[in-house]
Amino acid sequence: MSPPAVSSVPYTLLATGEGLGMSDFWLYGWLRRAAAMIAHLVVIAFTVFLLVMSRPGSSLFSWHPVCMSLAFCLGMTEGILLFSHESSPLCLWSHKTKVRLHWILQALVLTAAITGLVLIVSNKNLTEQPHLVSWHSVLGIVTLAATCGQGLYGLLLLFPGLIKNCSAARLKLYHATSGLLCYMLATVTVVLAMYSGWFQAQINGTAWYICVVAPFYPALVVMNQITSAYLPRRKVDI
């Protein structure tokens, strides 16, 4: 006698944890919200720490870490997290308003980053130091170029008619994917800066390891936010 057939019940598996009964698990949702809010605090605290450590105005070089930390640690992160429904203080704002604020933040990111590049090039010229001799500097150029390209790509979302035979949804997917790549490049570039002689001369020991780990936490939150929003939803039968 064959065993009775097991009925299959479709469940939609979402990256937010819904499906399979997890939507009723309130602790899961609160942990996600807490993790996202901590990302805001880590980004702000880490940026303030870098600004204080840089002692802006003490030298021409001091403005380079100031500009870059404001651009890639604070501005780029907050420009992405403002779309989060769980952690953003602007969650009640309309999507159109968030998009406008996102563009403003990314424009400021590019302005600060280009200013930081001009300052470090000027400083090296004045001190007669060679250019592009470290992984931090090489990857920094790549990151800045990718960020500029990402900004130009974002223009297509404002004017989707410039590209034919491509839906707005597909453009958003490509923009989010390339944006995540830019953010990961920026994170690695920031971490490589902590291996520089300037940084290690001021921070060492346990504090140095904390600084190395700190940028990866908001990066994980950003990665989860983007993949949750753009990964296709799947259905499985149980």
For residue 205, being part of any structural domain is answered with yes
**Reported pTM:** 0.84
Range of the domain at 225: 16-231
Q: How many CB atoms lie within 10 A of CB 177?
A: 13
Question: What backbone phi and psi angles, to 5 degrees, belong to 200?
Answer: -70, -20
State the CATH number of the domain containing residue 210.
1.20.120.1770
Please report where in the chains the tokens 């090296």 appear, as a residue: 124
For residue 87, being part of any structural domain is answered with yes
CB-based contact 218:42 (threshold 8 Å): yes
Beta bridge partners of 10: 237
Among residues 222, 210, 225, 232, the alpha carbon closest in space to that of 72 is found at: 222
For residue 238, being part of any structural domain is answered with no
For residue 120, being part of any structural domain is answered with yes
Between 21 and 61, residue with greater pLDDT:
61
Tens digit of pLDDT for each residue in 14-27? 444 444 444 445 77
Q: Distance between CA atoms of 83 and 75, rounded to whole angstroms?
A: 14
For residue 11, being part of any structural domain is answered with no
Tens digit of pLDDT for each residue in 118-167? 999 999 999 999 999 999 999 999 999 999 999 988 887 877 666 766 67
For residue 236, being part of any structural domain is answered with no
* Total of domains in the chain: 1
Among residues 92, 81, 74, 79, the alpha carbon closest in space to that of 35 is found at: 81
For residue 6, being part of any structural domain is answered with no
For residue 207, being part of any structural domain is answered with yes
